[in-house]
Amino acid sequence: MRTRTMLVPALSVAVTAALARSLLRRRTALVDVPSDLRHPMLYLPLDAISTNLPLMRAIKPRATQVADGVDARRLTVPGPEGAGEVAFWVYRPTASGRRTGALVWMHGGGYVVGSPEVQHHVCSRLSAELGIVVVSVDYRLAPEHPFPAPLEDCYAALRWVHTHSDDLDVDPARVAVGGESAGGGLAACLAQLAVDRGEHPVAFQLLIYPMLDDRTVLREDHRGTGRFIWSPRSNRFGWTAYLGRTPHGDAAPPYAAAARREDLTGLPPAWIGVGDLDLFHAEDHDYARRLSAAGVPCELHVAPGMYHGADAFVPDARASTAFRGAMTAALSTALTTDQQG
């Protein structure tokens, strides 16, 4: 009894000391983050996804608001063979009355968490501001549904947009794909898959700090990135869940990790946005460089001082509004009737 009594205070001291060291490291790292981008969550060691996925899924964020002037409806369609139905949300301007473009959107969450409802505000705002149709896919999540299940769900949504383009008043030549984080990775792979299958064209890729390369897990030196929100440990967990195995140097299956594709010629034009403190900064920068080298028009927007998801955590910060503004402008140029002539 005496040993146990002595052990408890010792453990408490050790835990307290470890937390204090972690807090100190984070306070030091915050020097690189602009003051208006700082958020209380940055002081916490956010590896809960890799340590307790069931708890993270149980804590469901509230659905965000749909923008005024937009009709939002949840639909289901037949999914991949033997997989049941695929659900998605469709956002349409209520006062459009003209043929428009469309965006097939994938939410973030490291391939293991997330839902379309959390991004009602993002998708409906794009629909309202640009007068386009947005389809946000409720794709299946890993590890229960590893690759290729989530990607095939997204392809089913792309197919639905094209086959219902007349009903939606959508120009099939102006259908884009896009997403944030893991959703951006899915969007990049969806563009590759669509080009290779040659069934349903994609006009543009809108890639928001996309999760493109499983080989980032193998890097030891992240050069000061990945200290906030999405860490190397979380990245390892997400990729392992999605691939069904731990990432390694050998090739991943085709369309599993967009950066693994060797020949990028013929892919749709792209806009890639990422912060310079984001774990994905290096892989996103490299993918943009390779797209341009392959003759694919690609605009890379790097936001100084932005960590992963900063624009969602602090949406009113100057860097966040500039980041979202550049993203919206790029999509507008790609899809709106006036810009298309």
Specify which residues 103 forms β-bridges with.
134, 176
Given 127, 308, 311, 320, the catalytic residue: 308
- DSSP H helical segments within 40-197, as ranges? 48-51, 53-58, 120-130, 149-163, 165-168, 182-197
Query: Could you tell me if 311 and 74 are in contact, meaning their C-beta atoms sit under 8 angstroms apart?
Result: no
What sign has the CA pseudo-torsion 331, 333, 338, 341? negative
85-93 vs 100-106, strand pairing mode: unpaired
d(CA 341, CA 337) in angstroms, rounded, equals 6
Given 181, 231, 234, 320, the catalytic residue: 181
d(CA 128, CA 256) in angstroms, rounded, equals 32
Query: Could you tell me if 135 and 89 are in contact, meaning their C-beta atoms sit under 8 angstroms apart?
Result: yes
Query: Is there a catalytic annotation at residue 278?
Result: yes
Given 278, 281, 311, 320, the catalytic residue: 278
How many CA atoms lie within 13 Å of 216's alpha carbon, on the beta-carbon side?
A: 32
d(CA 103, CA 176) in angstroms, rounded, equals 5
Residues carrying an active site annotation: 181, 278, 308
